[in-house]
Amino acid sequence: MEILVLGCGTSQGVPLVAHDNPGWDRGEPRNWRTRSSVHVVIEGHHVQVDTGPEFRMQCLSHAVDEVDTVILTHGHADHILGMDDLRQFCHARGGAAIPVYSTEEGLDRIRTIFPYAIGKTKVDGYVNLDLRDMPEALTLPGGGIVRSTLLPHGVDVLGLVFEEPSTGARFAYYTDCKRVPPAARELARGVDVAILDGLRPEWHPTHMTVDEACEAAEGIGAGMTYLTHMTYQVDYATYSRKLEATHPRVRLAHDGLRLKLDRRVA
């Protein structure tokens, strides 16, 4: 299994515009964060999780040339507004639609914003989306499995656990959540890698703080946990040092982070 973090920033990205971003080190490239999303290759099948406003540039920057399936965690703007940039991936499929899975709220938002892209038969050169409800267990072509659970974020957000039968690898992606409920914690328990929402040091009503994310990471017990959806307040160098001293199995993600998971060679 291959995991590529395309973006790990909060809803406005990092740095903020029209803001002095106090304490933020512009000279550290890992502090520059586009909107949060990941690209997962599982049993050779390319799954794009969320398509934020920078989706096109993320693909160009990190050499994403294939998308077979899209999963939208929820319908907020920072996770869906790059949807139209799937058109070239549709063109590569000869105009065939790309399956898009999400919650009812996420699919309704896509229908509202991108009505022209839905319900086509096979139109080359245009974006073509096949909207589908996300099941609790989705078996992908090739045999990879994506299990889903709901996370609280004001709206329901899909928490995802990827399982690759050929390697035994397991990966949990829990972005945009205030907490990890017991069912979600059990689903992800013992994964090789988890990526968790860790917005900022201070309390937030719909996101986990860095400390709350570390507590959730302990409950999940992943081999390694990375934090995502971070504001400018989480300086990469400063918090990397803090986490190394207090939570050695928790790290900060960064745009362009690539991970390969294979329990056969662990």
Per-residue pLDDT reduced to its tens digit, 201-244: 999 999 999 999 999 999 999 999 999 999 999 999 999 999 99
Going by C-alpha positions, the residue among 156, 173, 196 that lies closest to residue 75 is 156
**The predicted structure's pLDDT at residue 120:** 82
**pLDDT of res. 266:** 58
Please state whether the predicted TM-score (pTM) of the whole model is above 0.85.
Answer: yes
Q: Could you give all domains of the chain from N- to C-terminal order, each with its CATH number?
A: 2-15+33-261 (3.60.15.10)
Report whether the peptide linkage leading into residue 15 is cis, meaning its omega lies within 30 degrees of zero: yes
- Residue ranges of the chain whose pLDDT lies below 70: 266
- Percent of the chain exceeding pLDDT 90 equals 97
pLDDT, residue 121, reads 82
**Cα Rg for the chain, rounded, in angstroms?**
18
User: Exposure of 13 by Cβ count < 10 A (0-12 exposed, 13-18 middle, 19+ buried)?
Assistant: buried
